[in-house]
Amino acid sequence: MEFIILTGVSGSGKSTAVNALEDVGFYCIDNMPPELITKFAALCAASDKNFDRVAFVADVRSGSFFKELYVTINDLKKSGEKVKVLFLDADDAVIEARYKETRRKHPLLNLAKGDILNSISLERDMLANVKGISDYFIDSSYLSAAQLKEKVKSLFLENEDDFIQIDICSFGFKYGPMREADLVFDVRCLPNPYYVDTLRRKTGLAKEVSDYVMQFDEAKELEKKLYDLIDFLLPLYIKEGKSQLIIAFGCTGGKHRSVTFAEKLAKHLSTRYLKVRINHRDIDKYTR
């Protein structure tokens, strides 16, 4: 059996995520008190029903029961159950704006004496231990509901347990960092195709842009050292049991240099690792 514990900051998109998990075949239970998760897992294991994939949503809505979640997760893992933790997060300002837009009440608002930012801060403190042991992390700050749903689906649609899921992303620092990334490489140190009139409107997916970026000795040397580092780190991550590795490349606008290096690393890794995905977060954003 496969168990997913879905948790995270209120307002980060857990309702959308649980819908995505249902779409890929999980039996989902929302707002489950942590101390009941192990009992329900045992019932699923003993049942003759088809409970191959079960997802529990557990968060601060369960009140004082929530403090048991960290212990519950560790107990499940010690018992030999296949359990993974999916943690959702978003910037404080984004969460605040979402609550204002929906006019919903944050579950800790009364405890925080009506202050939404204090509510978010309190919740982050309560979630810190669980976040630290999460297997999957998604920052929904810059994702639409549809994009978040597809991202969750892509994590659990396949069932190739022997391989780490590698997500390679490009982004523009001017639009905000990629907080969910495990490794971030800043390639703003390289010459920028934006200042070449014939390349400005194109992206790193175009051969002429990629060729321009890679013609410089510093880019070639960076590529070599990057491959050496990633090739060294990946077996260590796999040995440690990491399920997902997010590698991000950032440049100013997320259209040229970061895209070029993300594409090159994806090509380099795809020959040896079956589960390599690539995403260019800001490639379609308008650039003057």
| Domain residue ranges of the chain, discontinuous segments joined by + | 2-156, 165-280
- Distance in angstroms (rounded) separating the CA atoms of residues 167 and 247: 6
Average confidence (pLDDT) over 160-167: 66
Weakest mean pLDDT among 20-24, 162-166, 215-219: 162-166
- Distance in angstroms (rounded) separating the CA atoms of residues 212 and 234: 29
Q: Residues 124, 128, 129, CA angle at the centre, nearest 5°?
A: 155
Residues 34 and 69 sit within 8 Å (Cβ to Cβ): yes
- Give the CATH fold of the 2-156 domain: Rossmann fold (3.40.50)
- Count other Cβ atoms within 10 Å, centred on residue 69: 26
Say if residue 185's pLDDT is above 70: yes
pTM greater than the 0.95 cutoff: no
Express each pLDDT in 76-95 by its tens digit: 888 888 889 999 999 999 99
> Residue 156 has what pLDDT?
82
